[in-house]
Amino acid sequence: MSYRFNLNETSFHGFGAIDNVVPEVKARGFKKALVCTDPGLLKFGVTDKVTSLLKAANLDFEIYSNIKPNPTIENVQFGVAAFKKAKADYLIAIGGGSSMDTSKAIGIIATNPEFADVRSLEGVAPTTKPCAPIIAIPTTAGTAAEVTINYVITDEEKHRKFVCVDPHDMPIIAVVDPAMMSSMPKGLTAATGMDALTHAIEGYITQGAWELSDMFHIEAIHIISHNIESAVRNEKKGREEMALGQYIAGMGFSNVGLGLVHSMAHPLSAFYDTPHGVACSILLPTVMRYNAAFTGEKYREIARAMGVKDVDKMSQDEYRKAACDAVQSLSIAVGIPANLKGIVKEKDLSFLADSALVDACCPGNPRKPTKEEVIAIYQSLM
């Protein structure tokens, strides 16, 4: 059996990493950028940290900011039109997963116009050309969209999110500068950080996991679990470690897939506009317990990576419980809501479960869920 592993051509890490943007643009001969960002980052001057460098170097660009927190088909369509109108030849994505996911879809359609119907990109689309070059600059430590081959788009008409998986959408350059994340409020820092932990844990136990991905995921679990509280306090070291930890998690899960937490979280965001990180954080401990009996010895290593003592002296049931409890405790410590009360409505459960079961992340789960089991998980958190 063979395995595939996709990563960026180049990535820069650490404080001051954005200083590498201009040299990279010039070295690659790019002419004009469409800078994709969200209205909030534009309003509060975060985007300007990058565009000011472009201006100083006399590099041409236009800004596209019609991007929602859960980007829609319409956001992508308008973005494609903006890319063409600007006569841009590359994209700079500044923001969280929303900006980067939108950029990936724009970039793919720009070079593969036969996929202009955004819905045609769902799943593993048979695109033939790499997307327009993307320089991805995250402002949150969570999605790792700067190093993944995945992106998620919301179909508002059908009240659902769909996942697209395409090696052709990988940003060629990732610029992971913790200074770009320092303005994140506590709640967003906590939610995106727990999303990163979910990536690491689901990637570690997914059916596609193997030795190389396991190496990344265990290290990511360790870094994230030991630094998320510091990042929530907006401490410099915590920000830097979380920026790295979430990227390492992305290096892994992008290549092996995720699981039931994400497939259940996606319809919550599409149907109720629940922030993705919050949805994942609430679901993670409960889904971990649901999956526990199908994970071999992996929960022992999760518990160890999170700092649980004496795991080698524990029985299998004990270390599985310890891993789940450690995740639950960390979620509480950073202020994540304990349940889905006030979010999920009983009348919607059948639709939510159906959506989760057809989500692209679901097949990777170590335990194959039934509709009744998915409904029961939702109900247990209501």
CA 36/CA 29 separation, integer angstroms: 20
β-pair type (134-138, 173-176) = parallel
Q: What is the pLDDT of residue 184?
A: 86
Q: With a cut of 70, list the residues of the chain below it in pLDDT.
A: none
Tokens, residue 315: 């029985």
Residue 238 CA, distance from chain mean position:
19
Q: What is the pTM of this model?
A: 0.94
Tokens, residue 63: 């800004």
Q: What is the pLDDT of residue 225?
A: 98
CATH entry 1.20.1090.10 includes domain 186-380: yes
Same fold for the pair 10-181 and 186-380: no
Q: Which residues contact 126 (CB under 8 A, 6 or more apart)?
A: none
Tokens, residue 89: 């030849």
Tokens, residue 144: 């790792």
* Domain map (residue ranges) of the chain: 10-181, 186-380
Q: What is the pLDDT of residue 161?
A: 86
CA 47/CA 158 separation, integer angstroms: 32
Q: What is the pLDDT of residue 48?
A: 97
pLDDT tens digits, one per residue of 180-235: 998 889 999 999 999 999 999 999 999 999 999 999 999 999 999 999 999 999 99
Pick the CATH number of 10-181 from 1.20.1640.10, 3.40.50.1970, 3.30.465.10, 2.60.40.10: 3.40.50.1970
Of 224, 350, 345, 216, nearest to 277 by C-alpha is: 224
Token pair 């995921």 in the structure block, residue:
217
Specify whether the CB–CB gap between 71 and 276 falls below 8 A: no
CA 75/CA 98 separation, integer angstroms: 10
